[in-house]
Amino acid sequence: MKKILLSIFLCLPFLLSAQPYTIKHLSIREGLSNNHVVSIAQDKRGSLWFATEEGLNKFDGIRFLTYYKEETTGKQSITGNELNCLLDDPVDSILWIGTQRAGINAYNYANDSFITYRHNENNPKSLVTDDITKIIAASDGNLWICTYWKGVDYFDKQTGQFTHYNTETVPGFASNHIWSAIDGGNGLLYIGHVDRGFSILSIKDKTVKNFTHEPQNPNSLPGNEVTCVYKDKSGNIWIGTDRGVVLFNPEAESFIPFDDKTNCISHRVYDIHQLDDNRLWIAMEFGGIAVVDLSQQLFRSSDQIHALSIREGDDEYGLSNSSIRCLLQDSFGNVWAGSWGGGINFIKREPSLFSTYKYSPFPSTNNSLNSKIASGVCMDKAGNLWIGTDGGGINVFNKGRRIAIYNADNKKFRSNTVQAALCDSKGGLWFGLFYGGIAYYNPKSQSFRQIFSEDKSRTDVRSFHEDKQGNIWVGTSEGVYLIDCDSKTIKAHYNLENNLARCVLKDSEDQVWVGFFGGGLGLYDPQLQSIQLFNVLAKFPSNTINALYEDSRKRLWVATGEGLVCFPSLTDRNYKVYQRESGLANTHIQAIGEDKAGNIWVSTNKGISCLVDSKDIFSRKLYCRNANHHPHSSPTLKLPTR
């Protein structure tokens, strides 16, 4: 029998290992001209521009408008389809477009016109060469142009003239093959070479200092191919190379490499960008994106630099491709990442509220579940998270890492199918098995034992509830059991009108509520003598009861197959039903929980909703995609205790 658990853990004291950002993908299917995206810019009107290996794309948030080289119509456009870089002019309404072999295009989006700058061998003040690798804003409002063959050009926008800085004009200039540069704002230009390391050019007197990788010096450049140079808001210079990233202190002229024990930033670096939240994003080949919180780093030594990794994945938390070429934070704070072959990744400003333990079929993956279906969850006194699954037994996690598996395959557990889990007030762990009785785990002896006798060991156990006296109530396919928590002995077995007890709750007034599969909701006295039955014959919305919850205001909440039911007090037999008109995405309620602020959360067959108490309606902003619940499931929603 298949089941699924939709669990929320808010404000947990440990860090989940899943990626915290929700990502949407845009590609040629949505109208992008090419999936190899090399540069991104946002103009002053808010439109986003994407340079690709085949054309320029403008995105207005809904659709793409594509610009190609026009060879027959005579219409103004870009001079080459293979592009390298974009820059929105810091002053004017101009988008600067650097092509791979066709010079520079200046697109004036105020009047929809193009101006082209090409090399002219008869004009020494023209562009030095047509192969453009990077266009950078100069500190005086003009531009710096990096080229692959002829060094760096300074472009005066007023005169339209280019001044050349290369091996012919600057003594000691390391190489004319340039990937990137940044204007330091202090009369210095920081330059990244294709194969000759990193240089600092004094613009006024045309002197240069060169830095290269020194194999015997661990504090030198990690590699001689400097792919990008970036200046953060504190004035630090970050240098991306073919062997990772290094921090350069301009005053001391010293390097601090990353001591990256996780190999998070040991890849070729293509772009670096600091966001407005003081986090540094690093785009890499085959490594996705690394995120460094600059406010949490001292940068006194290499081992003090730590990064979060955003990787490729086939869900809403994964990048479309592991090779990221360019980054941009837009005016709303969202991040756009262009990939090499995977199109565009749109990363929302706010990280996802939810972190997910994903399934992995590989036993060596210690941050994932060994089953796609989780069906019971509890946390022990030591902070370990115990997750019962359908097919994989029990997975135990500590601080986001799986530390143990108990299942029939490794002979550490009698079953692979767990339907319910509870950590009692004394620290013991209870697991309800699919037609396998109850497995109790003693943390001191680190051993399991079967609670039921042999003749009851095939009982289908669906739920646990611990009352204020410390007794354990158990909902099963054979009615309700009451178990003494200390002796682990059965105190009572109650055969009820419908023995398919899906959930049990003893409320603070000592009344016992039992939810049935197909039999509605029963209210009983402490000896389980029937008081009242709520079912469809009595106008109750559904006979399928999935979960029961008493909140901090002593209201009883009932998860049914046709909506959420609320009894305003434990003694009031009138109730209110919440359905789609109340804002629920779906009326098949699977689980109920309450957060520390008193908000009521429910999981449904189409995601998660939160009750906005002041408006008495549900918010669906926290929608979960692809929540494929089995119709016979009895999931658990776990929130922090009050």
Using one digit for the tens of pLDDT, what is the confidence trace for 395-425?
999 988 899 999 999 889 989 999 999 999 9
State the pLDDT at residue 234. Answer: 86
Q: In degrees rounded to 5, what are phi and psi of residue 407? A: -155, 180
What is the band of 634 on the pLDDT scale with cuts at 50, 70, 90? very low
Asked if 19 and 367 touch (Cβ cutoff 8 Å), the reply is no
State the pLDDT at residue 405. Answer: 95
State the pLDDT at residue 296. Answer: 62
Asked if 546 and 515 touch (Cβ cutoff 8 Å), the reply is yes
| Residue of 638 and 401 predicted with greater confidence | 401
What is the Cα–Cα distance from 525 to 212, expressed in whole angstroms? 81
558 token code pair: 């009932």
- For the stretch 118-162, pLDDT in tens is 999 999 999 999 999 999 999 999 999 999 999 999 999 999 999
Q: In degrees rounded to 5, what are phi and psi of residue 80? A: -155, 145
What is the Cα–Cα distance from 44 to 47, expressed in whole angstroms? 8
Best CA proximity match to 302, nearest among 342, 247, 349, 254: 247
Cβ atoms within 10 Å, residue 169: 13
Asked if 25 and 345 touch (Cβ cutoff 8 Å), the reply is yes
State the pLDDT at residue 638. Answer: 47
What is the Cα–Cα distance from 628 to 5, expressed in whole angstroms? 10
- For residue 351, what are the CA distances in angstroms to 9, 264, 316? 15, 20, 12
What is the Cα–Cα distance from 201 to 191, expressed in whole angstroms? 7
Which residues fall within 8 angstroms of residue 457, CB to CB, at 6 or more apart? 436, 437, 450
State the amino acid at position 56 in one-letter form: L
**Torsional class of 585: left (φ above 0), alpha (ψ -120 to 50), beta (otherwise):** alpha
356 token code pair: 């997910």
572 exposed, middle or buried (CB, 10 Å; 0-12, 13-18, 19+)? exposed
State the pLDDT at residue 16. Answer: 31
184 token code pair: 């330091």
CA atoms in the 13 A half-sphere facing the CB of 506: 20
Residue 52: is its pLDDT beyond 50? yes
State the pLDDT at residue 642. Answer: 31
Q: In degrees rounded to 5, what are phi and psi of residue 627? A: -85, 90
Q: Quick one: DSSP state of residue 517?
A: B
Q: Which residue has the tokens 């299942």?
A: 407
Task: Please give the average per-residue pLDDT across 225-233, as a whole number.
Answer: 96
Task: Please give the average per-residue pLDDT across 18-27, as a whole number.
Answer: 78
What is the band of 4 on the pLDDT scale with cuts at 50, 70, 90? very low
State the pLDDT at residue 167. Answer: 98
Residue 631: is its pLDDT beyond 70? no
State the pLDDT at residue 535. Answer: 96
Task: Name the most confidently modeled range: 67-76, 410-419, 533-542.
Answer: 533-542
Which residues fall within 8 angstroms of residue 104, CB to CB, at 6 or more apart? 96, 97, 98, 116, 117, 118, 127, 132, 135, 145
Q: In degrees rounded to 5, what are phi and psi of residue 538? A: -100, 25
Q: Please give the share of the chain, as a percent, with pLDDT higher than 90.
A: 71
What is the band of 364 on the pLDDT scale with cuts at 50, 70, 90? confident
Cβ atoms within 10 Å, residue 171: 9
| Residue of 30 and 639 predicted with greater confidence | 30
What is the Cα–Cα distance from 352 to 317, expressed in whole angstroms? 9
Q: In degrees rounded to 5, what are phi and psi of residue 35? A: -85, 0
Across 168-172, 230-234, 314-318, least confident range? 314-318
pTM above the 0.85 mark?
no
Residue 323: is its pLDDT beyond 70? yes
Residue 10: is its pLDDT beyond 50? no
State the pLDDT at residue 69. Answer: 95
Q: What's the chain's average pLDDT?
A: 88
Looking at 141-286, which runs of residues are DSSP E strands? Answer: 143-147, 152-156, 161-165, 178-183, 188-193, 198-202, 207-211, 226-231, 237-241, 244-249, 254-257, 269-274, 279-284
What is the Cα–Cα distance from 349 to 254, expressed in whole angstroms? 34
Specify the length of the chain in residues.
642
State the pLDDT at residue 12. Answer: 27
Asked if 462 and 445 touch (Cβ cutoff 8 Å), the reply is no
Q: Which residues pair with 476 in a beta bridge?
A: 461, 479
Best CA proximity match to 458, nearest among 414, 488, 423: 414
Q: Which residues pair with 182 in a beta bridge?
A: 190
422 exposed, middle or buried (CB, 10 Å; 0-12, 13-18, 19+)? buried
Provide the pairing of β-strand 269-274 with 279-284: antiparallel
- For the stretch 248-299, pLDDT in tens is 988 888 888 875 555 567 789 999 999 998 899 999 999 999 998 887 655 5
Across 189-193, 520-524, 598-602, least confident range? 598-602
Asked if 577 and 565 touch (Cβ cutoff 8 Å), the reply is yes
Provide the pairing of β-strand 37-42 with 188-193: unpaired
CA atoms in the 13 A half-sphere facing the CB of 206: 12
Q: How far is CA 331 from the centre of its chain?
A: 21
What is the Cα–Cα distance from 491 to 503, expressed in whole angstroms? 18
Asked if 458 and 417 touch (Cβ cutoff 8 Å), the reply is no
Q: Which residue has the tokens 């108990």?
A: 406
Q: Which residue has the tokens 């001391």?
A: 252
353 token code pair: 């509220």
State the amino acid at position 34 in one-letter form: N
What is the Cα–Cα distance from 276 to 274, expressed in whole angstroms? 7
**Edge-to-edge strand ranges of the sheet holding 143-147:** 132-137, 143-147, 152-156, 161-165
- For residue 36, what are the CA distances in angstroms to 28, 50, 211, 471, 491? 10, 10, 32, 62, 68
Which residues fall within 8 angstroms of residue 160, CB to CB, at 6 or more apart? 117
642 exposed, middle or buried (CB, 10 Å; 0-12, 13-18, 19+)? exposed
Best CA proximity match to 474, nearest among 528, 550, 393, 540: 528
- For the stretch 461-485, pLDDT in tens is 999 999 999 999 999 999 999 999 9
Best CA proximity match to 318, nearest among 291, 289, 341: 289
What is the Cα–Cα distance from 301 to 243, expressed in whole angstroms? 18
